[in-house]
Amino acid sequence: MYNRAEIVDENFTTFIKAGRLPQARTQITLEESGLKSNQLIELFESQVYSRHLDLRARILKNTNQCFYTIGSSGHEGNAVFGKVFRKTDMAFLHYRSGALVLQRSKQLFGATPIYDAMLSFAASSDDPIAGGRHKVFGSYPLMIPPQTSTIASHLPKAMGAALSIGRASDLRVEGVLPSDALVICSFGDASANHSTAQGAINTTAWVAYQKVPIPIVYICEDNGIGISVPTPKSWIEKSFSERVGIKYFKADGLSLLDLFRTTTLVEQYVRGTRRPVFLHMETVRLLGHAGSDAEFGYNTAEEIEAREFNDPLLHSARILLENNILTADEILGLYESARKRVEAVGAYAIQRPKLLQPEEIRATITACSNPRVAPSIPDDGVRAKVFGVDDQQGGLPQSVAISQFLAKPQHMAKLINYALTDTLLRYPNTVVFGEDVAKKGGVYNVTDGLFAKFGPKRVFNSLLDEQSILGTALGFAHNGFLPIPEIQFLAYVHNAEDQIRGEAATLAFFSKGQFTNPMVLRIAGLPYQKGFGGHFHNDNSLAVFRDIPGVIIAVPSTGADAVKMFRTCVREAYERGRVVIFVEPIALYMTKDLHQEGDKGWSFPYPDQKEEIQIGEFGVTGDGKDVTIITYGNGYFFSRQAEKVLREKHGIHCKIIDLRWVAPLNQEGLAREVSTSKKILIVDECRKTGSLSEGLVAMLVEQFGLVSKPIPQIKVLAAHDSFITLGVAAAAGLPSKNDIIKECLQMCEQR
């Protein structure tokens, strides 16, 4: 009674033999559908194999040989999508897309989708997409990026990928997708309510409303229930049928005939008009949410049995019988031969090797199967024109003119602007976007002039939705671009952090580097800024990024370092597909002086184009033996101020280490640098709990223990565990120059 997998399996054979089949919900003939007899058999075969993969997974789970039982049963009509759409139409798929993947695989000679699926079920390291790290639907040759728990988190990047297709053609960027490709993105009716889905669909409509091409098909596979919560009747149709900018189609997911006809119309419409569609496929869910789901806890036996009688395989069998395409015996023969094949393949797959060691698991965190070589640095003549100094300044050679122009010391914001200009010039596949970055030039004018220099196709505004900004970046990266999105303030990233944590950072891990998300995410952040107040604009925490494996986190302290680090970040993203978080300290954007007004101690000339600071390379100022200060960002600025006072007024000599790179941290190099230090002060502008300082202390204690050296005196000066207030007390509770001086004096036992 409770093993519904066995009952559904037995029902199919029993009902076919008895001729007891469900009635059609939609009246349509084979001829009207546009399907040929052999195509119908082909689709039915994919449905059957998908079902047997589900059944075999349940059986193997009982013997602890399978680790995933969220199946596709009830959704097998999506085989049609694998037939109608091309394998070059990138597919971001729902986790109930087994039949779709099986059918799409028929477009690729030599594909082994049944074996691949069984390897994935068994978490075998032979799995060609994830290598045993997760059960995912994914394939690089089939253009199916792997998704994990796809509760709408994949919709923003599907939107971005669709938007990138036309942009690649406009900019003549060699994209991964053909110029006439489209994107399909499937999800469930419950997921459609998620804010991420709503944001992605809203952004799609916003783009389409402005007549910008965005060829995407959102496929809502509506089975009427989200785990145990019913979807209100007609909710999906009422919610999405009248969205501005998105055309709505509805199809019967239990009828291959209706679904094929409707999907064919959708494909032709989207490919021809380059406009988006919401395709609403009504179907049923069989076998509960997953193998562990006790469906009797929230559904009656009558409700469960009614759904099971509406089995899409039974509907497909009825169509085959009604059109005299297959006999009942032939249908049952196909069903049983599929069972035997899946069983045999499964028996072999479960014997294949598994991941056992942590080193094996970690191996793909930053993997990149398709590395690239960065383009050459443009010559000075081209640069001079873009920078607006091509008049040769009274007859000077262009190389001299541009050098003189860039030699004038500038603050950080201007230097980052120059770095962005050079990046857009050198890397044709880069795009810069975010809120207010175009004509306005950003809240702090960091992107000022880029729109005029490079145009609206490469420098453009987003709508006010961080999830969509990051999703756009992810999607563009899928199509060969190197996106440089901007999040206006660090505090604003939190409502979209899963786009980094759950999507960007996991893609290489779950695809063995076959898919990557190269990007350099610029974020204006950290405290001390005076233009705005409160914690909405002064967010002093990097913890949200620090525990994400494989992500590079850069925090420059000077304008010159910002340029050199940014170049490294762009190159790492371009060449190795890395995900980079580039945090720009707002309070240092316009800072020009260090010790006194007019000293220009924090203004720097623009570094030579070849200059970079490698990942993990920290800066060292001074060689004092009294106190070693380890810091970054604003902390480095205040430490430099404090060092002068300590040296000149108190005779205390310090060494200051500017970490620059928050992740990955150069632990070995840092340990060597402080190996002779007797007193170490860590200055961290982030909140003490969860801050980098906690990890630094642990690392230092561990490193000194490894070499059997006495542990030096270590003190942490970090921000209080509090939000930042508005007004004159905005810096209260944050490390300051005077705090650093005080701590160093105490450590040296002076007043």
Is residue 142 within 8 Å of residue 149, measured between CB atoms? no
Angle of helix 195-209 versus helix 155-171 axis, rounded to 10: 30
For the chain, report the end-to-end CA distance as a whole number of angstroms: 80
| Closest alpha carbon to 559 in 460, 616, 636, 663 | 636
Tokens of residue 259, six digits: 């679904």
Q: Residue 453, exposed/middle/buried by CB under 10 A (0-12, 13-18, 19+)?
A: middle
Give 501's DSSP letter.
I
SS (H, E, C) 237-279: HHHHCCCCCCEEEEEECCCHHHHHHHHHHHHHHHHHHCCCEEE
The per-residue pLDDT for 397 is 80
The per-residue pLDDT for 546 is 94
The confidence band for 94, taking pLDDT boundaries of 50, 70 and 90, is: very high
Q: What percentage of the chain has pLDDT greater than the value 70?
A: 98
Burial 507-543 (b: 16+ CB within 10 A, else e): bbbbbbbbbbbbbbbbbbbbbbbeeebebebbbbbbe
Q: Which of 167-176, 226-235, 531-540 has the lowest mean pLDDT?
A: 531-540
The per-residue pLDDT for 532 is 67
Q: Tell me how far apart the alpha carbons of residues 527 and 489 are, in angstroms, rounded to a whole number.
A: 11
Q: Tell me how far apart the alpha carbons of residues 467 and 598 are, in angstroms, rounded to a whole number.
A: 42
Q: Tell me how far apart the alpha carbons of residues 617 and 620 are, in angstroms, rounded to a whole number.
A: 10
396 pLDDT higher than 80: no
Residue 710, classed as helix, strand or coil, is: coil
| Closest alpha carbon to 724 in 733, 713, 716, 714 | 733
393 pLDDT higher than 90: no
pLDDT, one tens digit per residue, over 455-468 is: 999 999 999 999 99
Pairing of the two strands 519-525 and 579-585: parallel
Q: Please enumerate in sequence order all residues whose Cβ is within 8 A of that of 120, keeping only pairs 6 or more positions apart, or say none.
A: 68, 127, 129, 130, 134, 135, 136
Q: Tell me how far apart the alpha carbons of residues 640 and 164 are, in angstroms, rounded to a whole number.
A: 45
pLDDT, one tens digit per residue, over 675-730 is: 999 999 999 999 999 999 999 999 999 988 877 778 899 999 999 999 988 888 88
Q: Tell me how far apart the alpha carbons of residues 744 and 735 are, in angstroms, rounded to a whole number.
A: 13
690: which strand partners? none
Q: How many CB atoms lie within 10 A of CB 239?
A: 18
Q: pTM value?
A: 0.95
CA 35, 40, 46, 51 torsion: positive or negative? positive
277: which strand partners? 217, 247
pLDDT, one tens digit per residue, over 106-165 is: 999 999 999 999 999 999 999 999 999 999 999 999 999 998 766 899 999 999 999 999
Check if 4-170+178-353 and 380-588 are the same fold.
yes
The per-residue pLDDT for 710 is 86
Q: What percent of the residues of the chain are helix, what percent strand, and what percent coil, each to the nearest 5?
A: 45, 15, 45
What's domain 4-170+178-353's architecture? 3-Layer(aba) Sandwich (3.40)
Q: Which of 58-67, 103-112, 572-581, 621-630 has the lowest mean pLDDT?
A: 58-67
Q: Tell me how far apart the alpha carbons of residues 415 and 571 are, in angstroms, rounded to a whole number.
A: 18
Q: Tell me how far apart the alpha carbons of residues 728 and 47 are, in angstroms, rounded to a whole number.
A: 67
Q: Tell me how far apart the alpha carbons of residues 583 and 2 are, in angstroms, rounded to a whole number.
A: 54
| Closest alpha carbon to 615 in 548, 657, 570 | 570
Q: Read out DSSP for 528-541?
A: --SSS-STTT----
Q: What percentage of the chain has pLDDT greater than the value 90?
A: 87
Q: Is the peptide bond before 664 cis (omega within 30 degrees of 0)?
A: yes
Interval 245-250 mean pLDDT? 98
Is residue 690 within 8 Å of residue 541, measured between CB atoms? yes
Tokens of residue 637, six digits: 């600025």
Average pLDDT, rounded, for the chain: 94
Backbone angles phi, psi at 648, to 5 degrees: -80, -35
The per-residue pLDDT for 606 is 98
Tokens of residue 335, six digits: 């069903």
392 pLDDT higher than 60: no
What's the Rg (C-alpha) of the chain?
30
Instruction: Measure Cα distances from 749 to 1, 96, 626, 743 in Å.
Output: 78, 67, 11, 10
- Kindly indicate whether the domain formed by 619-747 is annotated with CATH number 3.40.50.920: yes
Backbone angles phi, psi at 582, to 5 degrees: -110, 105
Give 139's DSSP letter.
B
pLDDT, one tens digit per residue, over 51-83 is: 999 999 999 999 999 988 889 999 999 999 999
Q: Residue 62, exposed/middle/buried by CB under 10 A (0-12, 13-18, 19+)?
A: exposed
Domain spans, the chain: 4-170+178-353, 380-588, 619-747
Q: Tell me how far apart the alpha carbons of residues 609 and 564 are, in angstroms, rounded to a whole number.
A: 8
User: 380-588 in CATH: which number?
Assistant: 3.40.50.970
Instruction: Measure Cα distances from 209 to 47, 146, 276, 635 in Å.
Output: 37, 30, 10, 46
CA dihedral of 41, 44, 48, 50, whole degrees rounded to 10: 120
The confidence band for 391, taking pLDDT boundaries of 50, 70 and 90, is: low
